[in-house]
Amino acid sequence: MASGKFITFEGIDGAGKSTHIPFVTQLLRDRGLTVVATREPGGTELGERLRELVLHHKMHLETEALLMFASRREHLAQVIEPALARGDWVISDRFTDATFAYQGGGRKLALDKLDRLEQWVHPHLQPDLTLLFDVPLEVARARLDAERTLDKFEQEKADFFANTRAEYLRRAAQFPHRFRLIDSTRPIAVIQEDLRAIVAAL
């Protein structure tokens, strides 16, 4: 059986991930591949309930990180691992890099604690490809403000997003074999050409 791949979309809020997920999903489906598109936190019934809690309720910062990994554990067991075992492709709007960026970079939790949680929850699985949509904070903020009511993370200050973005970029440099940095300040059609080339190279 052909083996599926695991692709994750990352970036600070408003960077443009969700805009491009349907496009990449369709590119893969046009090639005859079965694609499961999902998201974190969420992706399962329990995960969506945890999402509601972490996005809208104040809590201890370590509780927040633990809930992200709790949602992920369920997501892996119910959605991601079975799909990959079937040979399907999985596209996830965020995964563990988001915990390092937001809880590690933004919230300043110790990265070695997050490393230990990652080792516990998915010691052997990493994305095959991580698309990091990168924009300056002001661009992301302007896009969000135009859009809708902001959740707990989206209401954070510029400092939080500067640290979150910096941690994403640090991880992209640390894991160059799976990260592709997408300059998301460009027009959507131009970004889609990049994505087309990246998918073709897979």
Ligand X SMILES: Cc1cn([C@H]2C[C@H](O)[C@@H](COP(=O)(O)O)O2)c(=O)[nH]c1=O
Q: Which residues are annotated as a binding site for ATP?
A: 11-18
Contacts 24+ apart (CB under 8 A), 194-201: 195/20, 195/23, 195/24, 195/27, 195/131, 196/27, 198/129, 198/131, 199/24, 199/27, 199/28
Give the one entry of ligand ATP, ligand X, none that residue 165 binds, where binding means its C-beta sits below a cut-off of 5 to 8 angstroms depending on kind.
none
Chain centroid to CA 12: 9
Give the one entry of ligand X, ligand ATP, none that residue 127 binds, where binding means its C-beta sits below a cut-off of 5 to 8 angstroms depending on kind.
none
Helix 137-145 / helix 158-174 crossing angle, nearest 10 deg:
120
10 contributes a contact to ligand X by CB under 6 A: no
Q: 174 with 111: CB under 8 angstroms?
A: no
94 contributes a contact to ligand X by CB under 6 A: yes
**Contacting range for ligand X; rule: CB under 6 A; set: 19-27, 97-105, 132-140, 177-185:** 97-105
CB of 159 to ligand X, least distance (A): 15
CB of 2 to ligand X, least distance (A): 28
Residues lying near ligand X in the complex (CB under 6 A) are found at 13, 40-41, 55, 68, 93-94, 98-99, 102-103, 153
